[in-house]
Amino acid sequence: MTEKKRLLTGDRPTGKLHLGHLVGSINNRVRLQHQYESFFLIADLHMLTTKNSPEDIAKIDANAHDMILDQIAAGIEPDKVTFYMQSGIPEIHEMYTLFQSLVTVSRLERLPSLKDMARDAGIEMPLALLGYPVLQAADILCVRGDLVPVGKDNIAHVEITREIARRFNFLYGETLPIPDGLIGDVPTLVGTDGQSKMSKSLNNTIYLSEQPVEVRKKVMSMYTDPNRISADVPGKVEGNPVFIYHDAFNPDKAEVEDLKTRYRAGKVGDVEVKEKLTIAINNLLAPMHERRAKYEETGLIEEIIYNGTLVAREETQQTLFAMKKAMGLTGVWNRIRRKVEKRQKKLESKAN
């Protein structure tokens, strides 16, 4: 039997997941969990690069809980995936330290995504953010990940990991895997207000935990064709957020095509189109609410995170030991310790 390849992905614990996350990554993870041995990282240390206030840190527990609960509700199976907390594995930071000498500052500065992150956070580039890709390399290699799902725009981060692993193996011998980016489309869902991206900070989201009443309220307030002042005026379907959502979430494609045809002809109002969308989204979320309830009531989420972190830490300790052994570091401290202990015994013997 062929051993499954190991997949590593993760998120910063910034809160509840929404439909944009479902389209952008979660649906893909649900598919991949059956093909690979999956490790899902709760990247709380990465979060500190742009959100490090006491208020932000105080929310990590609740945010991690909600994030894992939402993924399980969406179809991730806890027995197929290892969820783990980054800050619960101090060895990751030791690997991060060892990797820092294997990549140059100028190489990291060439990554445009880091500048974008600093700009979006409204901060000057901190050292921690510059080292973000190096910490990512430790995240990936600590569990000896073979594959990292990534969009085409972010493949450069995986390439940094590959360069670090290759450099380590060149200097100290074959120790680390060279992971591959599992490149795929990462769809972006427009917000309910028509902005280019659904985002908590823009207040244009529909959360996976949203109840039917709230879903209806948000859908009914969605932007449509601004030039359409009444139902009998032909409307534009292309770029219309309501129809973008119909295409994404309404499984009844015949109904969607009928609505589009009538909308273009001025024979259906926005209210009916939105009512149909409300039904489709609530039907999508209903089974998620059922799965959520099973785990929410039992308090198992923290146990899932705890047990997964223990598994990932053991993997990381094995990787770190192999790295230090290859580098010749495992014996340094032990040699010093033995010399000191030997000397102390001699002194004690003379004193007696």
Q: Is residue 33 part of a domain?
A: yes
Do 151 and 274 sit in the same domain of this protein? no
Do 226 and 115 sit in the same domain of this protein? no
Angle, helices 253-265 vs 270-298, to 10°: value is 150
pLDDT digits (tens, 9 = 90+) for 270-307: 999 999 999 999 999 999 999 999 898 777 999 999 99
pLDDT at 252: 96
Does residue 155 have a pLDDT over 90?
A: no
Nearest to 188 by CA among 25, 40, 27, 70: 25
Do 29 and 124 sit in the same domain of this protein? yes
Do 249 and 146 sit in the same domain of this protein? no
Which of the two residues, 267 and 118, has the higher pLDDT score? 267
Do 222 and 304 sit in the same domain of this protein? no
pLDDT at 2: 59
Do 303 and 289 sit in the same domain of this protein? no
Its sign, for the CA torsion 316, 319, 321, 324, is negative
Q: Is residue 344 part of a domain?
A: no
Q: Is residue 69 part of a domain?
A: yes
pLDDT at 186: 64
pLDDT at 151: 75
pLDDT digits (tens, 9 = 90+) for 253-262: 999 999 999 9
Domain count, the chain: 2
Q: Which residue range forms the structural domain that includes residue 141?
A: 6-189+299-334
Which of the two residues, 210 and 129, has the higher pLDDT score? 210
Give me the percent of the chain exceeding a pLDDT of 70. Answer: 98
Rounded to an integer, the average pLDDT of 168-195 is: 90
Rounded to an integer, the average pLDDT of 83-101 is: 96
Do 140 and 37 sit in the same domain of this protein? yes
Last residue of a domain, one of 265, 293, 321: 293
Rounded to an integer, the average pLDDT of 134-140 is: 95
CATH number at residue 235: 1.10.240.10
pLDDT at 113: 77
Last residue of a domain, one of 240, 269, 293: 293
CA distance 137 to 202: 31
CATH number at residue 303: 3.40.50.620
Do 215 and 256 sit in the same domain of this protein? yes
The structure tokens 């307030």 sit at 221
pLDDT digits (tens, 9 = 90+) for 9-49: 999 998 899 999 999 889 999 999 999 999 999 999 988 88
pLDDT at 262: 95
Rg of the chain on CA atoms, in Å? 25
pLDDT at 182: 87
